[in-house]
Structure 1
Amino acid sequence: MPTFSAPDGTLLAYRVTGDGDPVICVPGGPADSAYLGDLGSLSAHRRLIVPDLRGTGRSAVPEDTASYRCDRLVEDVEALREHLGLPRVDLLAHSAGANIATQYAARYPERVHKLALIGPGVRAVGIPIAGATRRELARLRADEPWFPAAFAALEAITEGTGGDWEAVAPFLSGRWDAAARAHQAAARPGNQEAVALFAADGAFTPEPTRAALAACGAPVLLLTGEFDLNSPPVAVAEFAKAFRDATLAIQPGAGHYPWLDDATHFVTTTESFLAA
């Protein structure tokens, strides 16, 4: 895998898949970027440049582990842009990675051509997601055979009484089949220190971030799944209001990984936005 140097000297890896105009794809987690795959064959239309966040995948562990904090990861994205020699970037980000991409757009609005946020985390702009919202969305899956155990775990988690995160996993997929189970295992973060420090104090400054986004005129796609408990449609719709030029897309029947649930729908929506 090719590498580049972060501003603090940490050596970071990235992979390139497909042909066409480049899109930097920021993974969530923080997890090994391998779980993104080729984003449902979006690589048939675009050259996907997918970095491993520091301390994950083939990227090095930094000397200063405080640099795992979300706002500090923004400079790694900027270093990748400079390394690639791109005056402006199309930036796609999934899940927690959307918090990095959103802060990048706030800090470097002139560097962003288009921004696609997929199943986005919303902490960068301070949108709360109530437990009741997640439970209401979860009840749409009440006919699924795994629902009773998964819903009981979800209730325990949202009420702060414990709960088994593994038991909740079926809610993240539109179809909880063998492929979804394998993918969920691959998407599980391996560097727990990076996960713990990602949202450390100072990682998110919602009010300044929202104010700075007013200077970003780049078109933004916010796409989430109909059943996505991590990024409920109502929260993503609220997120869209933070941008000057936002398109909201709710993918029917999809969970947190819409390119797995219906690759054709996902690629058509995303590529149409990028190509416009």
Structure 2
Amino acid sequence: MTTFCAAPDGTRLAHRVYGEERPGDPLICVPGGPADSRYLGELGGLSAHRRLIVPDLRGTGRSEVPEDPATYRCDRLVDDIEALRRHLGLARTDLLGHSAGANIAAQYAARYPDRVGRLVLVTPGTRAVGIEITGEERRELAGLRSGEPWFPAAYAALEALTRGEGADWEAVDPFFCGRWDEAARRHRAESRPANPQAVAHFGAEGAFDPPSARRALAEFAGPALLLAGEFDLNSPPRAVAEFAALFPAAAFVVQPGAGHHPWLDDAEAFTSAVAGFLAR
């Protein structure tokens, strides 16, 4: 089911609802990209445990394109999540962010700590807190997949990317998946951002203030879970562990054999980790 609410600037924002029959408070799930939120699906069956509210970020999916492109900036998107919380009538909400969406979720928790119950960051982007990932780190992690038939072409494309020569992103795609099969190929295609303007403005100047975010998250009192995929080049386990260490007492989990979309690689392991954390 898709419903709508209004952003502070009047932009009409869509959000999908999964597991609507589930009792209790929902889990707001912020997608990455910025891309159509349909790629999250029901997060491997997490909707069997919690009602999921999955927003389409402005200018993606069924949400309107804003009049002001500057509102695509990551810190400005925090305002849209706050508008959604108000629309749902929640005093506080559990919040999940995936990939680039974790930057939004983390900034929301930093700005509104009293409005977040439990925070889950899945294979998170780390720009909001200034954690850098080097090309060497990505190449070393990629080496774990050297026995895969697709490895030579994918690794050559990765090396071109890390040298700043540009890259064939489709050739690099297998490194983001725990297994590279037809389902993974379809999912990678569906999860690609379709609004280049939204992508260009997401990380524009002023979008991130890592020192402030780090200070705020160091005082975040709510429970937090940060989940990494063992093979994820986008959010390597080392970087996610460093992110988790910024919180007073965050749980850190590495899902074995998983890539950037761990609910696809092993839905049972993913839902067990996340649903178990949320139920504590």
Q: Is the shorter-chain TM-score for this pair beyond 0.5, marking a shared fold?
A: yes
Aligned to 2:10: 9
Aligned to 1:157: 161
Aligned to 2:116: 112
For residues 28-73 of structure 1, the C-alpha deviation after alignment (integer angstroms, 9 at most, x for no partner) is 0000000000000000010000000000000000000100000000
Q: Which amino acid aligns with 1:247?
A: A
Aligned to 2:38: 34
Aligned to 1:203: 207
Aligned counterparts of 2:207 and 2:170: Cα–Cα separation in 1: 26
Q: Secondary structure at the residue paired with 1:245?
A: coil
Aligned to 1:123: 127
Correspondence for 2:77 among 49, 69, 73: 73
Q: Secondary structure at the residue paired with 1:46?
A: coil
Q: Secondary structure at the residue paired with 2:62?
A: coil
Aligned counterparts of 1:155 and 1:244: Cα–Cα separation in 2: 37
Between the aligned residues of both structures, percent identity stands at: 68
Deviation at 1:189, TM superposition (A): 0.5
For residues 129-155 of structure 1, the C-alpha deviation after alignment (integer angstroms, 9 at most, x for no partner) is 010000000000000000000000001
Aligned counterparts of 1:84 and 1:219: Cα–Cα separation in 2: 22
Q: Secondary structure at the residue paired with 2:65?
A: coil
Q: Which amino acid aligns with 2:258?
A: A
Q: Secondary structure at the residue paired with 2:14?
A: strand
Q: Secondary structure at the residue paired with 1:40?
A: helix
Q: How many residues align?
A: 276
What is the correspondence of 1:1-276 to structure 2 with a 5 Å cutoff?
1-18=2-19, 19-21=22-24, 22-276=26-280
Q: Secondary structure at the residue paired with 1:231?
A: coil
Aligned counterparts of 1:59 and 1:221: Cα–Cα separation in 2: 28
Aligned counterparts of 2:69 and 2:276: Cα–Cα separation in 1: 39
Tell which deviates more after alignment, 110-119 or 157-166: 157-166
Aligned counterparts of 2:85 and 2:135: Cα–Cα separation in 1: 38
The two structures have a TM-score, normalised by structure 1, of 0.99
Deviation at 1:213, TM superposition (A): 1.5
Q: Which amino acid aligns with 1:11?
A: R
Q: Secondary structure at the residue paired with 2:42?
A: coil
Deviation at 1:163, TM superposition (A): 1.6
Deviation at 1:214, TM superposition (A): 2.6
Q: Secondary structure at the residue paired with 1:170?
A: helix
- 1:13 and 1:58 in contact (8 A); partners too: yes
Q: Secondary structure at the residue paired with 1:244?
A: coil
- 1:20 and 1:45 in contact (8 A); partners too: no
- 1:174 and 1:227 in contact (8 A); partners too: yes
Q: Secondary structure at the residue paired with 1:30?
A: coil
Aligned counterparts of 2:23 and 2:177: Cα–Cα separation in 1: 29
Q: Secondary structure at the residue paired with 1:58?
A: coil
Deviation at 1:245, TM superposition (A): 2.0
Q: Which amino acid aligns with 1:165?
A: W
Q: Secondary structure at the residue paired with 1:41?
A: helix
The two structures have a TM-score, normalised by structure 2, of 0.98
Stretches of structure 1 lacking an aligned partner (at least 5 in a row):
none
For residues 5-49 of structure 1, the C-alpha deviation after alignment (integer angstroms, 9 at most, x for no partner) is 001110100011012431000000000000000000000010000
For residues 194-251 of structure 1, the C-alpha deviation after alignment (integer angstroms, 9 at most, x for no partner) is 0111000011100011111133111110001000000000000000111112000000
Aligned counterparts of 1:142 and 1:246: Cα–Cα separation in 2: 32
- 1:172 and 1:229 in contact (8 A); partners too: yes
Q: Which amino acid aligns with 1:157?
A: L
Give the superposed CA RMSD.
0.7
Stretches of structure 2 lacking an aligned partner (at least 5 in a row):
none
- 1:214 and 1:243 in contact (8 A); partners too: yes
